[in-house]
Structure 1
Amino acid sequence: MDDVDSAELVSRLVVVSSRLTRAFRRVIGNENSLATLRALAVVEQYQPVRVGHFAQGYLSSQPAATKLLARLEEAGLVLREASPTDGRASQFSLTEEGRQRLAENRSIMIEQMQPYFESLSPDERMSVDRALGLVSDFLKDRHPVDSAEEAVQEAPVQEGSVQEDSVQERDGDGSTEVEPA
């Protein structure tokens, strides 16, 4: 086979991504933990992040983002500081506890998937690695929040800013359907 239809490829990517997300949900457990992990991953990606930018990255309303960040702050997972460029605005960064929570849950997900990838041949693993790199590059180039971020963040960035995923708000009650961090 010399080529694959791009629409078919995207369709398969969506299906595999959904299955992988459901598998991670089963591993991590309750929806609240998943919402927390997703939020921590967004803070990690953009830190220090203002509420509006967090809301864009999390795909939520600004009031919902404000409430979620306040809960994360109360739990000791994020730190709120005044913005150095606008004293009226707050920005958020992960605390050590927040970084540790993300790392622990990512380790659980890795443990679940690693045996499968170990069973692949080196060529197959390289193919997966190349494919993931291409998808990651596409998302970096096309994700509107990330494009805006590059323009805004010419200043030095704090350590630890990776991860991209999507989230959809389900109801006005603040519950969300999330993908793993």
Structure 2
Amino acid sequence: MDSPSPQPAASAAGDDQSVEDLAAELVVVSGRLTRTLRRLAREETDPSTVRALSVVDELQPVRVGRFAAEHLCSQPAATKLLARLEADGLVVRRISGADRRAAEFSLTEDGRRRLAAIRGQLTDQLAPALRDLDDADRAGLARSLASVETFIRSARPDDARR
């Protein structure tokens, strides 16, 4: 039997929540936020393109295998997606300096502009929800986001250089 979904943070303000309850709530809310942003981005660009550009932006220069692992797809699917992005002028393929047999992908200027425009539009849609927060709540949210970022980095130690 499914357990009830955690209550939104606004209704839990002031309640004593366990770390486990907060973690469960974060998992649920972050999933909902991700799906909402994907729906909103779909109005501008195919969601797989947005996600792919984000992965390349974060890891560039990135090899196909690493891209596939991060994008959660097979290597053949990653190769096809990166080839489409390259044909669209959004990424550039270069020979790896470390291994001349391998290719690495980075965003082109057009890719950076496209990703920035999409992120800007999503930010514009999300910002009104944050405008009602007072300074203390904004500071708390900023600290919480920093904690989440620290978790993400610790869960991906191969990205420690970033």
- If the length of structure 2 is used for normalisation, what is the TM-score? 0.84
Partner residue of 2:35 out of 5, 18, 22: 22
Coordinate RMSD, CA, aligned: 1.9
TM-score (ref. length: structure 1)? 0.76
Residue pairs, 1:129-168, within 5 angstroms? 129-143=142-156, 147-150=157-160
Q: Which aligned pairs between 1:1-181 and structure 2 lie closer than 5 A?
A: 3-29=16-42, 33-143=46-156, 147-150=157-160
**CA–CA distance in 2 between the matches of 1:32 and 1:108?**
11
Structure 1 vs Structure 2: percent identity of aligned residues? 47
Which stretch shifts more, 77-86 or 5-14? 5-14
After TM superposition, where is structure 1 displaced by more than 3 Å over at least 4 residues in a row? Answer: none
Answer 1 or 2: which has greater helix percent.
Answer: 2
State the match for 2:3 in structure 1: none
Higher relative contact order (CA 8 A, sep 6+): 1
Per the alignment, do residues 32 and 60 of structure 1 end up closer, same or farther by CA in structure 2, a change over 3 Å counting?
Answer: farther
Which runs of 5 or more residues in structure 2 are unaligned? 1-13
Supply the distance in 2 between the matched residues of 1:101 and 1:14 (Cα, whole angstroms). Answer: 28
SS of residue matched to 1:92: strand
What amino acid sits opposite 1:84 in the alignment? G
Structure 1 unaligned regions, length at least 5 = 154-160, 162-181
Alignment length, in residue pairs?
Answer: 149
Query: How far apart in 2 are the matches of 1:5 and 1:12?
Result: 11
CA contact (8 A) 2:93 2:105 kept: yes
SS in 1 for 2:46: helix
Name the CA distance, whole Å, in 2 between partners of 1:123 and 1:33: 37
Paired letter, 1:108? Q
**For 1:4, what is the secondary structure of its paired residue?**
coil
1: CA distance, partners of 2:87 / 2:143? 40
